[in-house]
């Protein structure tokens, strides 16, 4: 279609790099192939995080892997920014020198 899109992501492995590498390899594919990517990019991100997690858990069980990862991704669709994150990864947007709060980070003390 004629809509410009850009995808960015950062993964921070915990207990090894397997989950982070797996997520970096598969999440963007799951997002791009999701049926809602055009109509509902936020839903595509959410579902793709869940799908990638399920895929890695299956692989981890089969191969006895014991790592995890936090992750944050940004999907720009036209002039809209969609953010998805898992764990304590954070996103910071600076607009004309001012910090714009996009999210409340996951912290142990937060409900």
Q: What is the pLDDT of residues 30-52, one digit of tens each?
A: 999 999 999 999 999 999 999 99
Q: What is the per-residue pLDDT across 46-88, written as a single tens digit (0 to 9) for each?
A: 999 999 999 999 999 999 999 999 999 999 999 999 999 888 8
**Residue 70 CA from chain centroid, whole number:** 9
Mention every residue, 6+ apart, whose C-beta is less than 8 A from residue 18: 60, 65, 67
β-pairing verdict for 5-14 and 93-95: unpaired
Angle at 8 between CA 25 and CA 67, to 5 degrees: 45
């Amino acid at each position: 279609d004629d809509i410009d899109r850009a995808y960015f992501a950062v993964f921070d492995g915990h207990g090894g790099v397997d989950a982070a590498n797996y997520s970096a390899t598969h999440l963007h594919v799951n997002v791009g192939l999701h049926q809602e990517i055009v109509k509902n990019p936020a839903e595509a991100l959410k579902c793709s995080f869940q799908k990638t997690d399920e895929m890695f858990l299956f692989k981890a069980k089969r191969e006895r892997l014991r790592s995890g990862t936090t992750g944050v991704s940004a999907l720009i669709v036209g002039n809209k920014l969609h953010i998805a994150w898992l764990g304590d990864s954070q996103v910071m947007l600076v607009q004309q020198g001012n910090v714009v709060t996009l999210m409340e980070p996951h912290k142990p003390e937060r409900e």
